[in-house]
Amino acid sequence: HDSFADVPWTNQLVAYVRQILAQARVRLVGVCFGHQIVGRAMGARVGRNDDPAGWEVSVTDVDLTAEGQKVFDEGKDVLSIYQMHKDIVFDYPVGVQPLGSTSLCKVQGMFVPGRVFTVQGHPEFTEEILVEILEVRHEQGVFGDEIYKDAMARAGRRHDGAMVGKRFIEFFLGK
């Protein structure tokens, strides 16, 4: 499945997210596919990454914007997070504060204070989860040897997943 398909269930999900966004009382968090669905619901173009490298996988450094540095409040300019995607939000929707970018994905996170908080990466992943996905996708031919070996070499790197999860909780609590 992908976030940009013109199929009933995806279209219904995008319409539902638009309804949620129209309600000032609801805070919305999106991760990976959810990040893309929120972007699409807010009017951004979503689709396959047209970069020849395509996939962004394993622990990846995201260059934080000034707003991203404030939101993640860790006194650093890079966020390390697990990635597993080939689909992206191409541009930031109107009214969204950009949180960060990589060379393969310009829109790594979106923020609207008190309303929307999304990340393209996977804060919920662990090394074990990532390795299993990498192995299966390599065996299935989704990833070639080069992508697989590079991703496996970075799978055990330190990452900021727990901190991102903490920021999501603080966002829901209005902190």
What is the number of other CB atoms lying within 10 angstroms of the CB of residue 173? 8
Q: Which of 56, 85, 105, 122 is catalytic?
A: 122
Query: Is residue 1 annotated as a catalytic residue, yes or no?
Result: no
Judge whether 60 and 157 are in contact, CB under 8 Å: no
From 32, 35, 56, 85, the catalytic residue: 32
32 belongs to the catalytic site: yes
Euclidean distance between CA atoms 97 and 113, whole angstroms: 9
The verdict on whether 124 is a catalytic residue reads yes
Out of 67, 124, 127, 138, the active site residue is: 124
Three-state SS annotation for 5-71: CCCHHHHHHHHHHHHHHCCCCCCEEEECHHHHHHHHHCCCCEEECCCCCCCEEEEEEEEECHHHHHH
Catalytic positions are 32, 122, 124
